Amino acid sequence: MGKTGVDLRSYQQGEKDKQKVSCCANIPKTRSEVFLFISVPTEMKQRTASGKGRIPSLRTPSLFRKTSQHLRSVLLAPRQKRGRNSVVCFNNRDLNSINTHKNNPFPSLEKFLGKFENPFYKKGFQEKEKNIIDWSFTMKVTFEKTVLEDVINDAMCAVSEKNTIPAIEGIYFNAEESGKCVMTSFDTEKGFQSTVDCTTERPGRYVINASKLSKIVKLMPDSDVTINISENKLATITGGRAKFELHALSGDDFPSIPMLSGETGFKIEAAVLKKLISQVFFAVAVNDQRPMLCGAYFEILEGKLRVVSCDGNRLALREKDCSIENISTEEGEENVSFIVPGKALSQIMKLITDKEDIVTIYLTRKHVIFKFENKVFFSRLIDSKYIDYERVIPKTAKTVVRGSRTSIISALERASLVTEDRALGQAKSCVKCEFTGDVIRVSSSSVTGSVYDEVAIDMEGDDLLIGFNCRYLIDAFRSADSENVKITLNNPLMSIIIEPDGESEDGEKYLYMVSPVKMN
């Protein structure tokens, strides 16, 4: 049985109305009939049902008359009785009269008739095991499973879980004829985009629920995964012998993303950026009435990158001399500062892998864009002025302590076994640090028990007894990556300052400040 097909792109209803009608033909070798499967666009159905549009009366030849009658019956039928495809049968006499009709509403059928001698003239029509070629599918694309799974996992960072807009709970697929598919997720605050290689049989733009798609692809057999979306927005996902069906949304429902480029930009090593973010992330506020504290403050000053975070009880500052290539188009943009939300920072750390070498950062008026090799992450900036953090850092010290960072962390972790116990509804107790002589006496007590420990140090200045939230102090010492630290104090009511003991060879500096608590 031979097969051929045509896409009627120029069905005309006057000069203003141009609708797409997809059809395919099954031409039996032993009979003289041609079966046309006609799919009418949704917008044409709506216009006809509302009375705003009409199907032209096609009088002669009989092909046009039958087509008109068929379209009328499909459009005017109740929705529950209307099939996805409908069949009309015409004989060769009707088909041969098309070329001579002066008001031919299907000009592309002339080319269709001219292809009868070579019925396999289109790629994709060579599936001989199928008697009918289904043109009702509007997008078909095939991926390698590992590639698709990796991109979906990255795209989940910008998928909204609970929202009234269904489109932002999914991933937007834009399959191009060039063999590339652009996958985008966007929750209106932050977004992700990646371009992957694929095999595109039919291009299209659709949105598929990200959570369900991620679970499906993860459990698929180790083979290529094909996504086939029909005109009624039903996504068929196949891999090996497994087959799933999900409802999809039109790509037009997906919200517009910001322009992924800016006039201000710079390049930095990916490993440096990830390390700096991870060492200040613990001090980013989660829910604070001051919006600037819910993010990290980035500042570029003459080849130095400084990152600052503060949640009201502790402050973290990291600074590093690094190779920063300025790619700004405007002059005088050497010093740049901006605030990135904490939710975006956690996703950036996940997206930066060992494979990434350079990260390009662009700034717009409202967004920051991080461009990697084949993926882009963007986020809305916090539009606020950051606090004057340098003013709150003490400039003098009455007590200076030097000691081993790992020894202090070990003592504090032992004390946390008591301080973090909330038995009998009691609040967490603080850890008491007594700086005296050549030791730090670490102690704490609660309703369930007590702890005492000592750490050897070198101290200059007055003895001091001060209390802290044990977890805050542990986070600060863990983020300090030098073996020996310098601790400066003034009195029991002023914050403790933690700095490196000596100059770093790679030009890296840090400062952590933790506020004390009242002791019982």
Interval 287-310 mean pLDDT: 90
Q: Please give the structure tokens belonging to residue 376.
A: 């882009």
Mean pLDDT of the chain: 76
For 402, residues 6+ apart whose C-beta sits below 8 A from its C-beta are 457, 458, 459, 484, 485, 486, 487, 501
Let me know: does 377 contact 194? Beta carbons within 8 Å: no
Let me know: does 22 contact 232? Beta carbons within 8 Å: no
* pLDDT, tens digit, 9 for 90 and up, residues 340-378: 999 999 999 999 887 768 899 999 989 999 998 889 999
* pLDDT, tens digit, 9 for 90 and up, residues 435-489: 998 999 999 988 778 999 999 999 999 999 999 999 999 999 999 988 999 999 9
pLDDT of 63 reads 44
Q: Angle at which helices 210-218 and 145-155 pack, to 10 degrees?
A: 150
* Number of separate helices (H) and strands (E) present in the chain: 11, 31
Give dist(CA 49, CA 43) in Å, integer.
Answer: 10
Query: 46's torsion region: left (phi>0), alpha (psi -120 to 50) or beta?
Result: alpha
Task: Examine the pLDDT at 404 and tell me if it is beyond 70.
Answer: yes
pTM, rounded to two decimals: 0.71
Task: Examine the pLDDT at 276 and tell me if it is beyond 90.
Answer: yes
Sheet of 458-461: strands edge to edge? 336-341, 295-301, 304-310, 314-321, 508-514, 496-500, 484-489, 399-404, 458-461
Interval 68-93 mean pLDDT: 41
pLDDT of 422 reads 59
Q: How many residues does the chain have?
A: 520
Q: Please give the structure tokens belonging to residue 342.
A: 């904490």
First to last CA, the chain: 92
SS (H, E, C) 4-44: EEEEEEEEEECCCEEEEEEEEEEECCCCCCEEEEEECCHHH
pLDDT of 421 reads 60
Residue 368: CB atoms within 10 Å = 24
Task: Examine the pLDDT at 26 and tell me if it is beyond 60.
Answer: no
* pLDDT, tens digit, 9 for 90 and up, residues 136-154: 458 999 999 999 999 999 9
pLDDT of 50 reads 43
Among 60-69, 172-181, 388-397, 405-414, the least confident range: 60-69
Task: Examine the pLDDT at 235 and tell me if it is beyond 90.
Answer: yes
The DSSP bridge pattern shows strands 449-456 and 458-461 to be unpaired
Give dist(CA 379, CA 189) in Å, integer.
Answer: 6
